[in-house]
Chains A and B, each alone.
Chain A
Amino acid sequence: MQYITRNLIAAAALALLAGCTSTGDTTGQDQTGAQQDATTEQGITAQPGQDAYSYPYGQAPSQYDTYDTTGGTAGGQASGGRPGQAVAGGGSAVSADRIVYFSFDSAEILPESQTIISKNARVLTGNTRIITQLEGHTDERGSREYNIALGERRANAVRQAMIAMGVSPQQIRVVSYGEERPADAGHDEQSYALNRRVEIVY
């Protein structure tokens, strides 16, 4: 019990911190990583500006396995797991009750997704200090940048549904990864179905 209380206090402090970070923000739509780092409970740990390393062409490394940060298998294989598995490098390990799936070429919320969306919406309306990031994804077919736009359309569909359920727009961030972070590395319809999704991260 004491443990939970302590966590709650920590969460509240973080939320306060996030509030401070966002003061002076004029757009109201800012998606800075700092905010998310402070307010999210899981998944988002990357620190802005610290996950990219550039090299001048003349001195650039010509071997890239050396620079893998995973310490796992060398060889540049695309990471990815089979259905149901969390994926290394494939985004946040989000549990199934926070994933909304979509039909091919569609951003329409399916009837079976209503339960998942409303369950998460209730969490957000119940605690308005929680900020969620809706991460839109597509399968690998078609052009990559167009898929970024499709992924955003899907995330926005979930956003609209949540707002209709009473969630404040201020609690929702949207980012699209298109086909860049597949949940499943396969190339068949079964994998594609798992990749056409919006992850509700908070």
Chain B
Amino acid sequence: MISTALKLFGLIALLLIGRFALAQQPLTIDITKGVQGSGIPIAIAPFGGGAPEDIAGIIASDLQRTGKIAPQPAGARADYSVTGQAQPGGARGYIVQFQLAGIQGAPLLNLSFDVPPNQLRPVAHRISDLIYEKLTGEKGLAGTRIAYIASGGDSWYLVVADADGQNPRVILRSGQPLMSPAWSPDGGKLAYVSFEGRRPQIIVQDIYSGARRVVSAAPGINGAPSWSPNGQRLAFTLSKDGNPEIYALDLATQNPVRLTSSSAIDTEPVWLPDGSIVFTSDRGGSPQLYRIGPGGGAAQRLTFEGDYNARPTVSPDGRYIAMVHRRGGRFHIAVLDLQTRQFRVLTSGGLDESPSFAPNGKMIIYSNGQRLTAVSLDGSVKQDFTLRGNGRDPVWAPYGR
């Protein structure tokens, strides 16, 4: 019921935005799968106090989106309840206070925050994550961010938005293509490929200062940047020696080391927590995923299903590799469990690409060729990010600042 209300609200919001604020291009998120009737019921009362943001509404929408919690209106039968206030006061402008309670007994959470007005949304996300973690034992995603590429007219944009799609910030605009954004492990920088000057370059940009550094501008391909787990090295693809090979660059010394050597395409490197690298190669005739050690060496083939497995991405714990998988001429997101070697196809689109794990490892955001979408690792929850214009190459930011 509340789900329908939320959708309707989202739709109205979208229409209003379309009508009055053409310039604004937020993502709105619809849960499309696995939510109705499932999840832990939790009654959320409107927050009193007259704050300019609907704190309870934001919390309900955040929790709804997890697929594991089913927000209900105040007073409905539910296992848990959330009540709170957001009123002017404190040193910074607003005091936000909330309680999470079970059916009986002492409150499970009882916290208050002193925040400036522009932090009311972030604090609502923080509360959502506290509730989610309390009830499920998993870290929440409401306070995280995503980055993606958009384009319109003759411009390409690198955008950073909150995980609910709100607050989209253009941190780079270019008159030439942008692609392959990758978050540094501390969430403070993005590496990406820019074709400015009509040649591909790998650039690292500090998102807070806007400062940019060209990390690679070799002849030929400069592509697919990926940060090492400690953030000190960057792996990427260069074709300066004739065909695409994987390199790793120490960001302090700026010295790139070549890790692969084949006459085939080697590209799309990503790091496992142990420093080894998984990448795409068509050395066997079709693109498949391979693994090499931190210093290169013999490659071990990881994928055997179908004739196309590419663009690997690694879960934060290093156990799962999500990828683009083709079967029957259609492209889907699939996941390989490195522990059990089980291979599962997660999505049913035909143009699915660019998967990226959420920092809690429970969701994967990807592009279905038209829109940004997220699917849970077990396939049970699906979220569509509906945005005006286009969005592609999504990457979920790590926890951290």
A69 touching B160, Cβ below 8 Å: no
Q: Does A5 touch B at the CB level, under 8 Å?
A: no
A55 to B210, CA, bound (A): 5
Q: How large is the interface on A (under 10, 10 to 19, 20 to 34, 35 or more residues)?
A: 35 or more
- Residue B59 at the chain A interface, CB threshold 8 Å: no
* B interface list, Cβ under 8 A from A: 21-25, 150-155, 157, 159-160, 167-177, 179-180, 194-200, 205, 207-212, 219-221, 223-224, 237, 239-240, 244, 265, 267-268, 280, 287, 308, 310-311, 324, 326, 331, 351, 353-354, 369, 388-390, 392-393
Contacts A75-B389, A142-B326 given: A68-B155 contact, CB under 8 Å?
yes
Q: Give the one of B173, B180, B240 with max A CB within 10 A.
A: B173
Q: Inside 8 A of B393's CB, which chain A residues have their CB? A: 144
Assess whether A76 is interfacial by the CB under 8 Å rule.
Answer: yes
Known A52-B176, A60-B171, A144-B311; contact A175-B200, beta-carbon cutoff 8 A: yes
Q: Tell me if A140 counts as interface (CB < 8 A to partner B).
A: yes
Residues 115-157 of A, flagged 1 when their CB comes within 8 A of B and 0 if not, give: 0000000000000000001000000111111101110110000
Chain B min CB distance to A171 (Å): 15
| B268 pairs with A51, CB closer than 8 A | no
Q: Tell me which residues across on chain B come within 8 A of A63, comparing CB atoms.
A: 21, 23-25, 170
Residues on A with C-beta less than 8 A from B173 are 52-53, 55, 64, 67
Indicate if the CB atoms of B267 and A70 lie closer than 8 Å: no
- 4 nearest A-B residue pairs (beta carbon): A76-B389, A48-B197, A76-B152, A70-B153
Which B residues touch A29, using CB under 8 A? 219-220, 240
With a cutoff of 8 Å between Cβ atoms, the chain A residues found around residue B219 in the complex are 27, 29-31
- How long is the Cα–Cα vector from A79 to B22 in the complex, in angstroms? 17
A-B contact pairs, 9 of them (CB 8 A): A29-B240, A36-B198, A52-B194, A60-B210, A70-B153, A79-B153, A144-B354, A149-B239, A175-B198
CB distance from A68 to the nearest CB of B (A): 4
Residue of B nearest to A61 (CB): B170
Q: What CA separation (Å) do A145 and B223 show in the bound complex? A: 7
Give Cα A172 to B174, complex, Å: 26
Docked Cα-Cα span, A51 to B197, in Å, equals: 7
Q: Are A149 and B172 in touch, CB under 8 angstroms?
A: no
Of the candidates A60, A67, A68, A75, which one forms a contact with B388 in the assembled complex, judged by CB atoms under 8 Å apart?
A: A75
User: Which residues of A37-83 are within 8 A (CB) of B?
Assistant: 44, 46-70, 72-79
Contact indicator B152/A146 (Cβ below 8 Å):
no
Q: What residues of chain A have their CB less than 8 Å away from a CB belonging to chain B?
A: 27, 29-33, 36, 44, 46-70, 72-79, 88-89, 133, 140-146, 148-150, 152-153, 174-178, 180-181, 187
Q: Which partner residue on chain B sits nearest A46 by CB separation?
A: B198
Name the contact of A146 in the complex, choosing from B25, B209, B210, B268 (C-beta under 8 A). Answer: B268
Give chain A residues whose Cβ lies under 8 Å from the Cβ of B180: 144-145
Find chain B residues with CB under 8 A from A174 CB.
220
Which chain B positions have C-beta within 8 A of A65? 22-23, 25, 152
Closest A residue to B323 by beta carbon equals A143
> How far is A78 from B210 in the complex, measured between Cα atoms in Å?
26
Query: Which of A46, A59, A64, A144 interacts with B25 by CB under 8 Å?
Result: A64
Q: Is the CB of A144 within 8 A of B157?
A: no
| A146→B287 contact, CB < 8 A | yes
Closest A residue to B269 using CB positions: A145
What's the least CB distance linking B219 to chain A, in Å? 4
**Structural contact, A89 and B153, CB atoms closer than 8 A:** yes
CB contact between B199 and one of A89, A175, A181 (< 8 Å): that residue: A175
Task: Contacts A51-B175, A144-B393, A145-B267 given; indicate if A64 touches B200 (C-beta within 8 A).
Answer: no
B170 close to A68 (CB less than 8 A): no
Q: How far is the CA of A32 from the CA of B373 in the complex (A)?
A: 37
Q: Are B154 and A79 in contact (CB under 8 A)?
A: yes
Contact across chains for B170 and A55 when beta carbons are under 8 A apart: yes
Beyond A51-B174, A54-B212, A142-B326, whether A46 also contacts B353 by CB under 8 A is no
Closest Cβ neighbor of A44 among chain B residues? B198
Residues of B within 8 A of A77 (CB): 152, 389-390
